[in-house]
Structure 1
């Protein structure tokens, strides 16, 4: 039976924290405010940008939030164009893990990310393995995580039952999204939320490195 592995991007496949921090500092600068502390910014990675901005600036009015969102997007795009793939480098073992799964006849790959379509397409264009993902869904077309919309669309696109799918992600939003869509979730410890938080959010398990992914999936599916 065909299985579906749905990957988050930021904090799971790529280490974009420096890029995110810089862009958020620029965003807050557009309204003359100091950005929150680094850990506070990283805690909202995974949410759609307007939702994340509202979490970080709850006192700001709608006009200020809109300016901050635009400021973030402009800074992120400028830095990406300047740095290329180096702006969001892949985590060690990420490409190898994706390629290994993509080579299996019984597995399809997908992406569900809080990134914009422009940001996601730029990454996919940089990746030599980007064509291994059968379908990709992002924040531009769906409610923010942890709403299950992106996962449900992946299931529909790939004609795979929820019972045969898994979300791989680094945040509680990913695990909650998976649970809301009635699919399993596997956390990764190298991203933006910790092991305990991921387990509390319903993760089937938490990986210490990408080398553990294939065995973790086989064990889960065997069960």
Structure 2
């Protein structure tokens, strides 16, 4: 059995606009200036408090709880209004369904999102039942700490050498390597190619259509039957 863990933001769904809106709310709540778009998106993948701390620095540590609370409250309110529906990236659903049909594969999620946000994504995109394990910021330290991958392996009984993480950030790659797993970086997310490579990506893909070949090379699958 093999375990394939997907990141969410920047990998399965394009959530940059809703993340930026939440960050803007958080900065406004404490009267601080929002950083530029590239800087703000550089923290995607981190848990919320750690993301805000990365952006404001140690001088404003005391403001982080209020910023995170404002972000969460905004998210909850917008979802109740039917907003914040982050679209799946092209090919994501097809890849998930195709891999889910393989008897030798288990799929999972490892994300800096809260479980509430993951459930919202699964509900809106009708993806329930595909993932054997879901690891979130509610129960694990922030990426790149390896705990999410370690917990997923413990839950599924899959060893590190048969586990692979797919993500768009250096945090995902570093998390996978720290857990002894392999990693595929995707270029359509929020970190550039160099950060993925620097943090240990075994392969880099440009689109979900490239995933089958990458998996066949790393996990020795027959790509014709993926």
Query: TM class, shorter-chain normalised?
Result: over 0.9
Q: Please state if 1:16 is matched with 2:15.
A: yes
What is the TM-score when the length of structure 2 is the normalising length? 0.94
Q: Which residue matches 2:46?
A: 47
* Structure 1 counterpart SS, 2:60: coil
Deviations 1:182-213 (A, max 9, x none): 00000000001011210111101111000111
What stretches of structure 1 move > 3 A for 4+ residues in a row? none
What is the TM-score when the length of structure 1 is the normalising length? 0.95
Partners of 1:79 and 1:87 within 8 A in 2: no
In structure 2, C-alpha distance between the alignment counterparts of 1:130 and 1:21, rounded to whole Å:
27
Q: Which residue matches 1:184?
A: 182
Partners of 2:53 and 2:61 within 8 A in 1: no
In structure 2, C-alpha distance between the alignment counterparts of 1:60 and 1:185, rounded to whole Å:
34
Q: Which residue matches 1:204?
A: 202
In structure 2, C-alpha distance between the alignment counterparts of 1:13 and 1:52, rounded to whole Å:
20
How much does 1:118 deviate?
1.0
Q: Which residue matches 1:156?
A: 154
Equivalenced residues, count: 220
Deviations 1:44-66 (A, max 9, x none): 0000100111111112142x211
* Structure 1 counterpart SS, 2:108: strand
